[in-house]
Amino acid sequence: MIGIILHNNERTLPNDLFVTVNDLNQAGGPAILVNQRINVDQTFALNNVQDDQNGNGNITWTAAAVDGSKSLNATVSVTDGQQVEVTSW
């Protein structure tokens, strides 16, 4: 398992976010974080990302503004200790 840091990067249009993360290295790509609120410019440590044979994690994240006005998702490869910037725009 590896750990990553999720960072709410909503600086242009400041919004708190609800963030969901799915782990693509686990069978079925289960959600390992569901609707975690992360305030503007704050971080959240996520320590249960499954690593592959090369030590990398593969995740999808979805970030939705708490007011429901917008959302965005992305698929990224991550390494232990990496900071992942999440935003809804």
Residue 13, helix vs strand vs coil: coil
Say which residue the tokens 């390494």 belong to: 79
Give the residue from 11, 30, 8 showing the smallest Cα distance to 21: 30
Mean pLDDT of 58-76: 96
Cβ–Cβ < 8 Å for 45, 3: yes
* pLDDT at residue number 13: 79
Residue 12 confidence (pLDDT) above 80: no
Domain boundaries, the chain: 2-77
* pLDDT at residue number 70: 94
* pLDDT at residue number 11: 80
CATH superfamily of 2-77: Outer membrane usher protein (2.60.40.3110)
Encode pLDDT of 72-85 as tens digits.
999 999 999 999 99
